[in-house]
Amino acid sequence: MRIEELGEILNISTSAGATAVSELVDKEVKLSIGNIEGIQAGSIVLSDYEPTICFEFEFTEGLSDKGIAVMKLSDVASLVGAVLQKEFTEEFELDEVNKTTAAQIMGDLIGGSFSSLSNFANIKVGVSAVEPFAAPETETLIKEYYNSDQEVCLIKYGITVNGVIDSDFVLILTDVQAEGLVGAFNTGLAKTENQVPDDGSVTVGDDAYGNGTDYDIRPVELQRYSESETDNVEQSSNLNMLMNVPLQITVEIGRTKKQIKDILELTTGSIVELSKPAGSHVDVFVNGQQIASGEVVVVDDYYGVRISEIINTGEIMKIL
């Protein structure tokens, strides 16, 4: 099991999960990858997380089958309380509202993290049907999902929400899911890098685990530079590499905040009032950072935005 590679890949995705939850709780959230361990399912110990809330989720793209995340009940209660803006003075229960809120939080943490990998490699990993439940004892839980001798990967996430929790939770993937994620990421990254036409010196295989890569190795022809030219060449190379990185552009008409109970009451025909008055300019974001504003137009039956204000190129590069 490629533990180090898996850790590097997951580290890339943590900021997206943290940002998604930060918008829910309206507080700063930090998410980090801690210890990653490949062990047999029968050796899993979760006593540090008791009493425990588990989250079952299903992969819909990129990977297959189910995964589970394990979090302390007290941490779930604190996060749900932060979203609902209430404090649980009595024992926390997974009633309909709390269950829906907890599922949204973990869905944003895990789903947001995995989906963000598409920004870095040509892959899509989708997560759906997040189902929280009060966990039985570890042995019963593991028997329900795995064979005792099955190889699994335990991924410990550190999570800090300003003024709410400073804790951790565990994500459990099968060895097949972990290897599949690493292989798909490496293959997707290679495809992305090879989208720029080259001289045919490199051919990358397409199998699910990134194997079968063929290389045409030739002597390198080095171009000589004077010492004064070296810095410019390096900066130009780095800039050219950045120019091929795909970024997500989002246009925001407006936004608002509503309590969970109000959202659950929405039906077909409901109207959600936004913060901006009619006729206002919309905001243009790149990877979550605003770079411009403009007016909505229609181009060949598609919506578009005519830019009216934009920050300068230097500032855009700092943001990105």
Which superfamily does 249-319 belong to? Answer: SpoA-like (2.30.330.10)
What confidence tier does 211 reach under pLDDT thresholds 50, 70, 90? very low
Residue 318's Cα: distance from chain center in Å?
A: 22
Buried b (16+ CB within 10 A) or exposed e, 233-260: eeeeeeeeeeeeeeeeeeeeeeeeeeeb
pLDDT at 159: 94
CATH 3.40.1550.10 placement within the chain: 3-182
More confident residue, 244 or 312: 312
Identify the CA nearest to 111 among candidates 131, 123, 125, 90.
Answer: 125
Cα gap 310→289, rounded to integer Å: 12
pLDDT tops 60 at residue 157: yes
Rounded average pLDDT over 110-134: 79
| Amino acid, res. 206 | D
At 147, is the secondary structure helix, strand, or coil? Answer: coil
pLDDT at 206: 45
Rounded average pLDDT over 179-192: 76
pLDDT tops 80 at residue 50: yes
CATH 3.40.1550.10 for domain 3-182, yes or no, is yes
More confident residue, 65 or 118: 65
pLDDT at 258: 83
Express as a percent the part of the chain with pLDDT over 90: 19
Rounded average pLDDT over 236-260: 73
Which two tokens mark 20? 């998604």
Rounded average pLDDT over 111-117: 80
pLDDT at 198: 47
pLDDT at 203: 43
Q: Are 6 and 182 in contact (CB under 8 A)?
A: yes
Q: H or E stretch including 67? A: strand 66-72
Phi, psi of 223 (to 5 degrees): -90, 135
Which two tokens mark 55? 């989250």
pLDDT tops 60 at residue 261: yes
Phi, psi of 162 (to 5 degrees): -50, 115
pLDDT at 217: 52
CATH 2.30.330.10 placement within the chain: 249-319
What confidence tier does 102 reach under pLDDT thresholds 50, 70, 90? very high
Q: Are 163 and 65 in contact (CB under 8 A)?
A: no
More confident residue, 212 or 131: 131
Find the largest Cα–Cα distance for the chain: 73
